[in-house]
Amino acid sequence: MTRSIAAPLIDRVALVTGAGRGIGRGIALELARLGADVALVDVAADGISAVADEVAEIGSKAITFVADVSDRSQVFAAVDHAASALGGFDVMVNNAGIALVGPISEVTPQELARLWAINVDGVLWGIQAAVAKFKELGNKEGGRISKIINASSIAGHEGFAMLGPYSATKFAVRALTQSAAKEHAVDGITVNAYCPGVVGTDMWVEIDKRFAELTGAAEGETFEKFAATIALGRAETPDDVAGFVAYLAGPGADYMTGQSGLIDGGMVYR
């Protein structure tokens, strides 16, 4: 894979959280292919180190930063490092997240706190850090539209059984996306979200295993059951999601803000 000839994101700097695997990796590579230099952030170093090598092969610059997105100070530090090391800052992709599968009646305070801290607080801290940096750099005054792109889900549009608290976090991300879009349009910042469905990633492997434990289904059965409802006839890939996120990051979406776009192959219709 090499840079696109058109490279609509040339001279742009993007940061992607949860970039070490799955959807985050796919997003980082697609942004690099379209010309962006990329800051790769994850809670573990190994994954982002490998992705950085892939970005370099494409021809874009990459830096890595280990951070826990539930810690506000670490998110701000990651953004500071990205802007300093890559010479600017234009796109924040708040992708990091975790799942929680189980009956609503059995969710513990500890499970809920961790889920919320990563999926919601992590997005909020990312929004705050990005807005502060965009303003500090004077992106609006320089004629650059800044982008914040948040990870929601089909579960942020419709509640699913056994995924209640997870769905709640993704509904919350949509609310943050809309509120931030309204507050920061005046600052030349657009804020949108992407809402994937059934994606062939490690997270979905974990979701499937948990459903198997709780329901007695065979491993792989829950994934296939959900995938069978997709109108386009196949499960989603990280590249499917990455293409939509790249659109949101690019000039074609400059007049779009406050939206949470479903990219699910036809599962949930809104």
Indicate whether 207 belongs to any domain. no
Ordered alpha helix ranges (H), the chain = 22-33, 45-58, 72-86, 109-116, 122-137, 164-184, 202-215, 221-227, 238-249
Indicate whether 190 belongs to any domain. yes
Match 């998110």 to its residue by tokens. 75
* 73 and 129 Cβ atoms separated by less than 8 Å: no
Indicate whether 70 belongs to any domain. yes
Q: Which helix (H) or strand (E) holds 238?
A: helix 238-249
Q: Which helix (H) or strand (E) holds 97?
A: none
Indicate whether 147 belongs to any domain. yes
* 151 and 169 Cβ atoms separated by less than 8 Å: no
Neighbours of 53 (CB within 10 A): 10
Indicate whether 229 belongs to any domain. no
* 253 and 243 Cβ atoms separated by less than 8 Å: no
- What pLDDT is recorded for position 6? 63
The full length of the chain comes to 270
Look up the domain containing 57 and give its range. 13-197+236-256
CATH code for position 63: 3.40.50.720
Match 């499917």 to its residue by tokens. 240
Indicate whether 225 belongs to any domain. no
Q: Number of structural domains, the chain?
A: 1
The Cα–Cα gap between 89 and 71 comes to 21
Model confidence, pTM: 0.96
Indicate whether 157 belongs to any domain. yes
* 261 and 244 Cβ atoms separated by less than 8 Å: yes
Tens place of pLDDT per residue across the chain (270 aa) = 666 656 899 999 999 999 999 999 999 999 999 999 999 999 999 999 999 999 999 999 999 999 999 999 999 999 999 999 999 999 999 999 999 999 999 999 999 999 999 999 999 999 999 999 999 999 999 999 999 999 999 999 999 999 999 999 999 999 999 999 999 999 999 999 999 999 999 999 999 999 999 999 999 999 999 999 999 999 999 999 999 999 999 999 999 999 999 999 999 999
Give pLDDT tens digits for 99-124. Answer: 999 999 999 999 999 999 999 999 99
Tokens representing residue 211 in the block? 């459903």
247 labelled catalytic? no
Q: Determine which one of 166, 194, 247, 269 is catalytic.
A: 166
The per-residue pLDDT of the chain, averaged, comes to 97
Q: 231 to each of 197, 268, 269, how far by Cα in Å?
A: 12, 10, 11
